[in-house]
Amino acid sequence: MDDEERTVPVSGFLPRVLDDMSVSEMEAYLADLEEEISRVREVVRKRSGHLSAAEELFRKARETGGG
């Protein structure tokens, strides 16, 4: 399958064609992907923390009649 034939998924991530890559190129690609996964997980963790804090704030406001 050529790059031109593939459609970009909603996530925007377009996997690379592995057929012509050497083992060392695939290992480097895998390392890049793992680094990106770690970066995304950290942002998700931070945003989840903010969301939890906001939910707690609104919960307390409802309980005290402030919202």
pLDDT of 19 reads 96
Alpha-carbon gap, residue 35 to 63, rounded angstroms: 42
Nearest Cα to 32, choosing from 47, 15, 45, 48? 15
Phi, psi (degrees; rounded to nearest 5) at 9: -70, 170
pLDDT in tens, 8-65: 777 888 889 999 999 999 999 999 999 999 999 999 988 888 777 777 778 877 888 7
Note if the pTM is more than 0.85. Answer: no
